[in-house]
């Protein structure tokens, strides 16, 4: 069964629809002194609404991460987000965190707050991850709206995992931009993927 799931994931990643619009975070902290990296690539900017992402989380404590991302949009715009994430609830089945941070894009600054980030823990190291993010445009003191994402993360077998990482997962999901950017009536969910490394 696991082999079939991995095969389906790899087939999905080889299709152009997978090279879509966003990376995402989750509610599980990295752990003190530990580093998490999530990578999403839109090769050759093949999807015109897509982005290539590097998302990071570094554990300042077991509950507090310095997290953020750098992304390159297919149309040429780069952006960077950085902030702090605090894990306020953790159990065997669920991690919940909140975060605050700033995004810089096109010489404009957005505040990401409030945020809810979550990890729903499933058997055999599978999980469902995602976030709710309110985007506030600081220059004009107005709200841009909310963005949402959700993804299923599938563990890569230990035999295929490099020895210098704790684990690797492939995440496949959906992302919806803050409605400010689009006509809300036309807003839609876009497919996403990432390869997630814990060091």
CB 40 within 8 A of CB 52: yes
CB-based contacts of 119, cutoff 8 Å, min separation 6: 26, 27, 28, 94, 95, 127, 128, 129
Write down the residue that tokens 């879509």 correspond to. 20
Confidence of residue 46 (pLDDT cuts 50, 70, 90): confident
How many independent structural domains does the chain possess? 1
64-73 and 78-90: which strand pairing?
antiparallel
Of residues 94 and 194, the one with the higher pLDDT is 94
According to the model, what pLDDT value does residue 65 have?
97
CA–CA separation, 101 and 84 (whole Å): 6
Q: Residue 136: pLDDT above 90? A: yes
Dihedral angle at the C-alpha atoms of 41, 42, 43, 49, nearest 10 degrees? -170
Average pLDDT value for residue range 60-76: 93
According to the model, what pLDDT value does residue 20 have?
31
The secondary structure of residue 124, as a DSSP letter, is G
Of residues 141 and 44, the one with the higher pLDDT is 141
The secondary structure of residue 186, as a DSSP letter, is G
CA–CA separation, 69 and 81 (whole Å): 5
Q: What is the mean pLDDT of the chain?
A: 83
According to the model, what pLDDT value does residue 10 have?
38
CATH of the domain at 33: 2.40.160
Domain containing 74: what range? Answer: 2-198
Could you tell me the two tokens for 174? 């959906």
- pTM metric for this prediction: 0.81
Q: Residue 22: pLDDT above 50? A: no
Average pLDDT value for residue range 183-189: 62
Determine what percent of the chain is predicted with pLDDT higher than 70: 83
């Amino acid at each position: 069964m696991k082999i079939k799931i991995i095969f389906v994931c790899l087939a999905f990643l080889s299709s152009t629809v997978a090279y879509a619009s966003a990376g995402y975070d989750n509610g599980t902290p990295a752990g003190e002194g530990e580093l998490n990296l999530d990578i999403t690539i839109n090769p050759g900017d093949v999807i015109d609404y897509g982005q290539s992402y590097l998302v990071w989380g570094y554990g300042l404590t077991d509950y507090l991460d310095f997290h953020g991302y750098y992304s390159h949009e297919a149309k040429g715009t780069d952006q960077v987000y950085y902030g702090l994430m605090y894990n306020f609830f953790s159990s065997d089945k669920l991690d919940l965190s909140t975060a605050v941070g700033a995004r810089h894009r096109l010489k404009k600054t957005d505040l990401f707050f409030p945020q809810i980030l979550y990890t729903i823990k499933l058997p055999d190291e599978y999980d469902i991850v995602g976030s709710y993010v309110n985007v506030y445009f600081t220059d004009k003191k107005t709200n841009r709206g909310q963005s949402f994402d959700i993804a299923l993360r599938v563990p890569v077998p230990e035999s295929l995992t490099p020895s210098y990482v704790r684990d690797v997962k492939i995440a496949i999901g959906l992302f919806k931009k803050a409605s400010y950017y689009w006509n809300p009536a036309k807003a839609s969910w876009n497919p996403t993927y990432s390869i997630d490394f814990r060091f």
